[in-house]
Structure 1
Amino acid sequence: MGNILITGAASGIGAATARLFHARGWKVGLLDINHAALASLAAELGGVWHAELDVIDPVAVQAALADFTALHHGQLRLLFNCAGILQCGNFEQIEMAEHARIVQINVLGLLQMTHAAFPYLKATPNAQVINMGSASGLYGVPHLASYSASKFAVRGLTEALELEWCKHDIRVGDLMPPFVRTPMVFSQRFEAPVMRRLGVKLTAEDIAAVAWQQAQGSAVHRPISLQFKLMYWSGQITPQWLNRLIMGWLSRE
């Protein structure tokens, strides 16, 4: 068993992951900006440790990590960077402030959490970071441009740290699902054509189950669903022009 600290834990994938790891005996820490939903989940799980957190606030990030790890002898077995936001739509019709917010939370927030967590991970045998990636990090997705760009950044960071931190006995990997039935996806006012064509078939519980598998393994990238696995592995060997053709067809209005 171990301890896991989850960002974006109040709902969706983060909450499903918290429930699963808690049920299997792990010590769970919950972080989210939504205080009411976070407190409700913490109570559901028997009063587990939780703290309201904006992941782009560096001082709050440092404090949250220090508080949680103080309960576990300064150690952190698993950091799950799950916090993230999405805005679907035509790129030019989305306010620049919203594009910036996507990058701040999905990239800068993840960077800050991971950077601040390093000393606690290093102090823990078999420590691990799981980043919430996306199928959108395989090839740029129309109508999800800034979100897709943020997940390319997550993919690059994951690959770099997986190599860099192996000397510290810290494994780093990401989960790469296509669209998941979560409040974040269902709250979108614009339905991207690729979402309509591929469908939204996965549940938060499906992703939590894969997070559990990742916690026992060492994959750098873990594509999720048979449909995307085929796209992912074929994308490793097919030329870029073919990948572009496929994505263009999936995104056709």
Structure 2
Amino acid sequence: MKRILITGAASGIGLTTAKHFHEKGWRVGLTDVNDTALVRLAKELDNSWYRPLDVTDSIACQHACRDFAEDGGIDVLFNCAGILRMGPFESISAEQHKQIIDINVTGLINMSLAAHPFLQDSKAAAVINMSSASALYGVPHLASYSASKFAVRSLTESLNIEWGRQGIRVVDIMPPFVKTPMVEKASFRAPVVDRMGVNLSADDVAKKVWQAANEKVPVHNPVGLTFKLIKLLDKALPSASTRLFMSFLSRD
């Protein structure tokens, strides 16, 4: 039985992905800071392994990976934990900016390092990182979030080469805005969200994660036709064109 360890598993994309892999017969490991929702999900998924986890705590990440791997190892790590805050840059506190980077970037690094020795023992190892369409060009009103996803993109590219030589595939998933509580319940809604629309479901992303776990896919995996077209235009046109397009989408 293949085994996947998921961060941020108690809601949104992580939760839907956990259900999808469980239905397909995988052994699923669940982690999240929301222990109440985590316990509820673990029971729903036939008492799946779970561990309340703050991914910014590197020691806790090591313990979680070691404990999940004890009875069968880790085949896939899905780094899904992340937070989003939208608003004018100066309206978000320094502590909130730091929290975005700590969870979205440092948390991913912590988990990747902690899972690495166990992934090395798998014959079909993969790390799947949750990136974003905002890693293509910096998005106004999502500056720190966008920066964090640029970092995820860079880490993915680097490790795709470095760990690829060790037999560990490293790829990312790049959706635009997805219908999840993180987006739907945001106190501030960036203009770009309404103009691009929130057209993807968590299930759309979960299916892409499933594909990435089971097939040889590109390093970057955009989700949704709209973002795929934007990505193609970015390759075909000068970067100034992308800047103008983003400026138009994010106007007040």
TM-score normalised by length of structure 2: 0.98
Separation in 2 of the partners of 1:214 and 1:232? 19
Separation in 2 of the partners of 1:40 and 1:251? 38
Paired position in structure 1 for 2:50: 50
2:104 is paired with a residue of what secondary structure? helix
1:121-200, aligned counterparts within 5 Å?
121-200=119-198
2:163 is paired with a residue of what secondary structure? helix
Separation in 2 of the partners of 1:125 and 1:237? 38
Paired position in structure 1 for 2:235: 236
Which amino acid counterpart does residue 135 of structure 2 have in structure 1?
G
Separation in 1 of the partners of 2:178 and 2:118? 31
| Cα deviation code 1:206-252 (max 9, x no counterpart) | 11011111112232000010000000122123211001011111111
1:51 is paired with a residue of what secondary structure? strand
CA RMSD of aligned residues (A): 0.7
Separation in 2 of the partners of 1:51 and 1:27? 14
Separation in 2 of the partners of 1:190 and 1:173? 31
Deviation at 1:175, TM superposition (A): 0.3
| Cα deviation code 1:140-194 (max 9, x no counterpart) | 0000000000000000000000011111110000000000000111121111000
Paired position in structure 1 for 2:3: 3
Between 210-219 and 197-206, report the one with greater CA deviation. 210-219
Separation in 1 of the partners of 2:93 and 2:195? 26
1:83 aligns with 2:95: no
Separation in 2 of the partners of 1:6 and 1:161? 19
Size of the aligned set, in residue pairs, is: 251
Which amino acid counterpart does residue 230 of structure 2 have in structure 1?
M
Between 182-191 and 28-37, report the one with greater CA deviation. 182-191
1:236 is paired with a residue of what secondary structure? helix
Separation in 2 of the partners of 1:122 and 1:6? 18
1:245 aligns with 2:244: yes
Deviation at 1:71, TM superposition (A): 1.5
2:28 is paired with a residue of what secondary structure? strand
Separation in 2 of the partners of 1:142 and 1:48? 40
Separation in 2 of the partners of 1:14 and 1:132? 10
Separation in 1 of the partners of 2:142 and 2:196? 14
Separation in 2 of the partners of 1:78 and 1:111? 15
Paired position in structure 1 for 2:207: 209
1:18 is paired with a residue of what secondary structure? helix
Q: Sequence identity of aligned pairs in percent?
A: 54
Runs of 4+ in 1 over 3 A off after TM superposition: none
Separation in 1 of the partners of 2:117 and 2:224? 34
| Cα deviation code 1:38-90 (max 9, x no counterpart) | 00000001100000000001111010000000021xx2110000000000000
TM-score normalised by length of structure 1: 0.98
Which amino acid counterpart does residue 90 of structure 1 have in structure 2?
P
Unaligned runs of 5+ in 1: none
